[in-house]
Amino acid sequence: MSTIASRWSRLPRAARWLIAFGAVTLGYFAVVEPVLDATNRMNARAEGVASTLARYREQAARLREAEGDIALGVRRFGVVHPPGDANKSSTALVNRIDDILRGRGVTSDWTIRTRRAVALGRGALFDVLAENPEAQLEVSRLMVELQIPEASPEAVMGVIADLESSPEVTAVSQVQIRRVASRDGGGRMVQATIIPEVWVISRKESAR
Instruction: Provide, rounded to the nearest whole percent, the portion of the chain with pLDDT above 90.
Output: 27
Using pLDDT thresholds of 50, 70 and 90, give the confidence band for residue 187: low
Compare 175 and 139 and report the one with higher pLDDT: 175
CA proximity to 156, closest of 175, 142, 143, 183: 175
**Over pLDDT 70: what percentage of the chain?**
57
Predicted local confidence at residue 207, as pLDDT: 46
